Every structure is written in C-alpha cells, then in structure tokens.
Chain A
Amino acid sequence: MKEIWAIIRREKYTETKRALDKVGCGAMSIHSVWGRGKQRGFIMSDAESELALYATSAPKLVPTPSYLVAEGATITKPVVYVPKKLLVMVLPDDKVEKAIEAIIEVNRTGHYGDGKIFVLPVEDAITVRTGERGEEALTGG
C-alpha cells in the first residue's frame, strides 16, 4: 500500500478527480492548502510565455506576511503563497503508477506551479465499518 500526495492547481482539481475515477482510484481526501515551491511562489518570470494561463489564478495570489518583512532583508523576489489543492489517496501497489500517470496527464501544462506528487509507504489500513484490514480495506465492498 502506498499513500499518494498530489499538490495540484485548484482549477485542475475537478478534471483530476474525473481522470482518477476513470482508472479506479476515486477514493481520496481533499484539502485546500497554500503553498510554494523552489520558485518561492514567484510566477511572473514565466508570465511572458502564456499570460492567459495565469489570468484565472493571478488575482487569487495573496502576499504572505513575510513579504513585508522580507522586503528589507536579503530576499529580492516577492514571496507569495499560491492556492493549491492537496489530494491524499491510499492505494494498493498495483494502482499507484496508473494514478500517477492520470494525475500527470491532466495537470501538466509545462509552466511553474504544476505541482508535485509524493509517494509514501503505508503500514496498515482499516475500514471502520467492517473492520477489514490491509489491502482488503481498500478494495473490499
């Protein structure tokens, strides 16, 4: 069993859900989170490539409190958090690659901010209603 964490664009979230349904990985928890990557949430350097892409996400950007402090410090770029969706799924081993492919296919735009996928090991899973354990808990009815 593996736990998959996918941090993706909010506007791609519905599409990703549909794609995961198709490969049979529909069960997930969803969180709305704020985040940033190596680029520190700074997206304007990539803006000339395709402005339209950011037309939807740009107004949602919120400067962090740290931006105000960072201005006078050594950090030269504005540091912002970008709104993201975090999908958490626990999947049996054989479905992991399929789910990753589905997520990548929907979410890849080739621009900064497409997101990250993390794969973590899981020791056990239990269905509360039936008491099933292990992979049975994920596949059982």
Chain B
Amino acid sequence: MKLVRAFIRPEKEQEVVLALEGSGFPALTKMSAMGRGKQKGLRVGDIVYEELPKVLLLMVVKDEDLSKVESIILEHARTGNIGDGKVFVSPVEKSITIRTGEVEL
C-alpha cells in the first residue's frame, strides 16, 4: 500500500475529489495547509506572497491503484501555472481498521 499526499489548489479540491469518487476512491482525509515551493511564493508587482494556501489530500491506496489515482489527481489539479501543487508517495507497511481490527499489509 502507498500513502499519497497531494498538495493542490483549494479551488481544485472539489473537482479532484469528485473525480476520485467517480472512479471508486471515496476514502480520503483532507486538511488545509500553507506552503511555498521552489519559486519561494508568488510575486505580483510589488506584493510578495511568501506562503500560499493549499489543500492537502491524504489517501492510502493499494499498489495496483496507485497509477490510476495519480493520473486522476494530475489530470484534474493541473492548470499549467506555477502553484498547481505536488504529489508525494510514501510506502505504508500496515493498515489497521480500528472497528474490526482487520489488518492489511
């Protein structure tokens, strides 16, 4: 299993979540985050925004579903401009459902 962390534009959240839902991945956790990338924020004329608001989506998916989830996020979160976000993938060793105690490796 893999943990997918997707930092996306807040205005794209709904589109991404709906697309994931439609493809059968309804389970996710979201939190709002502030951050910046290698462009060190955003500069509009004289005004510099050092940190920009993002939505962080956390999903744990099976290895075989990973590429599908990735491509859905990429397709729907992309605008082509700086600040579209990043997707990080980490390995997960074990997942436990508290209600049933069911363990997935």
| A interface residue numbers (CB < 8 A to B) | 2, 5, 7-8, 31-38, 40, 64-66, 69-70, 73-75, 79, 81, 84, 86, 100, 103-104, 107-121
Contacts and interface: CB of A to CB of B under 8 A. Distances in A.
Contacts of B96: 100, 104, 116-119
Given A33-B30, A74-B22, A84-B29, A110 B92 contact: no
Interface stretch (B46-54, B68-76, B79-87, B97-105): B97-105
B101 A36 contact: no
28 contacts: A33-B58, A35-B29, A35-B30, A35-B58, A36-B28, A38-B27, A40-B26, A40-B27, A64-B17, A65-B14, A66-B17, A66-B18, A66-B21, A69-B14, A79-B21, A86-B29, A100-B96, A107-B98, A108-B98, A108-B99, A112-B99, A116-B96, A117-B98, A118-B60, A119-B93, A120-B3, A120-B90, A121-B91
Contacts of B14: 64-66, 69
Contacts, number: 96
A116 B98 contact: yes
Contacts of B101: 104, 108
A118 B29 contact: no
Contacts of A75: 21-22
Nearest to A110: B99
A70 B14 CA distance: 10
Interface of B: 3, 14, 17-18, 21-22, 26-31, 58, 60, 90-99, 101
A2 B29 contact: no
Contact of A81 (B18, B30, B91, B92): B30
B5 to A, nearest CB: 11
Given A70-B21, A121-B93, A115 B98 contact: yes
Contacts of B18: 66, 69-70, 73
